[in-house]
Amino acid sequence: MTKKTNTLLFILGATVFNVLIMILCFIVLLFIYARLLVPLLPEPAQAWGLPLIFIGSIALSFALYRIILKQLLKRVTMEKYFAPLFGRKKRS
């Protein structure tokens, strides 16, 4: 496979992986919210839970994705396997 193919597959795989992390974070946060906080909160405050859980899952998945990507960058030389996304600018 060429470097461009590797780059495309890496971007697609990383996107799917990030979405899966976000879904997992959403489910875990929703479970924690339903078990621990819903019985303690009054009725009007419970309505704010779902939007906050959604935003929290996005933030948590972004943080986890960055940590995992940094660990991957330490172990793998990206220039060896992947092409740059944007080519160099040509000077006239």
pLDDT digits (tens, 9 = 90+) for 30-73: 999 989 988 888 888 888 888 999 999 999 999 999 999 899 88
Average pLDDT of the residues of the chain: 87
| pLDDT in the model for residue 90 | 63
Percentage of the chain lying above the pLDDT 70 cut: 93
- ∠ CA 33-37-41, nearest 5°, is 135
Is residue 30 within 8 Å of residue 53, measured between CB atoms? Answer: yes
This prediction has a pTM of 0.77
**Contact 53/26 with Cβ under 8 angstroms?**
yes
Is residue 78 helix, strand or coil? helix
Task: Report the pLDDT averaged over residues 11-36.
Answer: 94
Helix axes 49-75, 3-32, angle to 10 degrees: 140
Other Cβ atoms less than 10 A from the Cβ of 72: the count is 12
